[in-house]
Amino acid sequence: MKLVNENKLLSLAWQIVDQLEAVGHAAYLVGGFVRDQLLGRKINDIDIATSALPEQVMALFKRAEPTGIKHGTITVIEEGIPFEVTTFRCESDYTDGRRPDKVHFIEDLAEDLSRRDFTMNAMALGRQLELIDPYGGRDDLRLGRIRCVGQAERRFSEDALRMLRCIRFAAEYGLTVERESWLALLGHASSIAQIAMERVRSELERIVEGSGPLRGMRLLAESKLSDDFRAPFVVDLNRLFASDKSELLTALETIDKPQLRWPFLYLVAEVQAEQAAKWMTSWTFPTWKIQESIRILSLHEAIAVDSSMESLERRWQIAVLQFGPSAAERWLELIAKMNRMTQLQNKTIEVLLIHGQGWLSNMPITSMNQLVVSGKDLLEEGFPSGPKMGKLLRRLLEAVALGEVTNERSTLMLLAKRFWSEEE
């Protein structure tokens, strides 16, 4: 576990430290950067702790923004790269279980490190590459464990989100939760209900989309932490791990696109599209991520629930038009993973896994923008605007996509007139 300072990010961070020290302030690289350097992991950002007061940091650097000045954090931007520079601080009680009532700026690094959550995050690196590690974070990493700084009971009572962070770190880094910390987590699990759904959702995303999702969900189930979320987790983890479907979850870590782990999880747990949509919306997931999951689940419900083989190719292609070729390809990918883990015993799925991609590839077009006739074209031909126009275009799209007619203007105009007369 060698400490290195080779890349540009690190060079710029040291420049900030040098500027602070040049005017008499103490400054260190802290937290996740030190942890990840010791573990040899990729570094994405670097935080700096200093004895300088926020207003002193603001005055010292040309580009400095008061992004968290109430808590002592100034974002210093060097060559377009942001660095959070935070004044050494101590904190008062956390009466709401989420944030300190007051923050006091101090000049002692050791006291600043004492308020942090876990030993592996309570380390600092000085300009001469000296490691400041008052709580044994390096040894804990070497032993493969995560341990609270000081009294675990106090750390979790200060901020209940730390329990979820504990599970996320344990999953991401393959660590075992130290016994005292685990018992304290179990004892405080119900207090997670104090935490806003947005903060919980952020941690859940990092667990499911991180490098150890299966371990993370097992720890969530064992801790019962997810039982006490402010709004219930749409997946009943305890029930899922107790079922014969639990082995399917081992495929989670083989899904390269992290956002696709959500629809995979829903498919395994048999969560309906409507349920997933309501849950993800209430938990403030990004709209694009919700839509991707719901299209996949909706396609599954449209095509896989019906075991009939009648007109399966046509039904599949209509589903492709309704939910999009991307959702269809993603569904095939996820269902194939599930089927490799355990035979799904579904004839429809079996046939689609063999022929679905070919049937999709054989479709002349798969979206409205590929149709040579637009709504504007139909208006110019005298078709009136209104709801019927959209329906007419969808029928034309389906006719071309299913190979019933060619995608030519003259052909489609004649077909449009026929469809229109049938509606009247």
Lowest mean pLDDT among 96-100, 119-123, 290-294, 389-393: 96-100
Of residues 155, 159, 157, 122, the one with CA closest to residue 140: 122
3-state secondary structure of 65: strand
Q: Give per-residue pLDDT as tens, 214-243.
A: 999 999 999 999 999 988 899 999 999 998
Dump pLDDT digits (tens) for 143-194. Answer: 999 999 999 999 999 999 999 999 999 999 999 999 999 999 999 999 999 9
- Count Cβ atoms below 10 Å from residue 236 Cβ, excluding itself: 16
- Distance CA(384)–CA(63), nearest Å, equals 58
Rounded to whole angstroms, the Cα distance separating 228 from 187 reads 12
Q: What mean pLDDT do residues 324-342 have?
A: 93
Domain positions in the chain are 1-136, 144-233, 245-363, 368-423
Q: Could you tell me the two tokens for 77?
A: 């931007």
Question: 1-136: which CATH number, 3.40.50.920, 3.30.460.10, 3.40.1410.10, 3.30.565.10?
Answer: 3.30.460.10
For residues 273 and 297, give the distance between their C-alpha atoms in angstroms, rounded to a whole number: 5
Stronger pLDDT, 341 or 326, i.e. the higher one:
326
Residues 6+ away with beta carbon under 8 Å from 363: 317, 320, 325, 401, 402, 403
Please name the residues in contact with 222: beta carbons below 8 A apart, sequence gap of 6 or more.
none
Three-class DSSP category at 68? strand
Q: What is the maximal distance between C-alpha atoms in the chain?
A: 85
Overall fold of domain 368-423: Serum Albumin; Chain A, Domain 1 (1.10.246)
**pLDDT band for position 91 (50/70/90)?**
low
CA distance 158 to 90: 13
Model pTM above 0.85: yes
Place of tokens 């498919």: 267
Angle between helix 287-303 and 325-341 (nearest 10): 70
From the CB of residue 98, how many other CB atoms can be counted at a distance below 10 Å? 15
Average pLDDT over residues 234-254: 89
Sign of the torsion angle spanned by Cα atoms 26, 117, 41, 195: negative
The 3-state DSSP class for residue 187 equals helix
- Architecture of the 144-233 domain: Orthogonal Bundle (1.10)
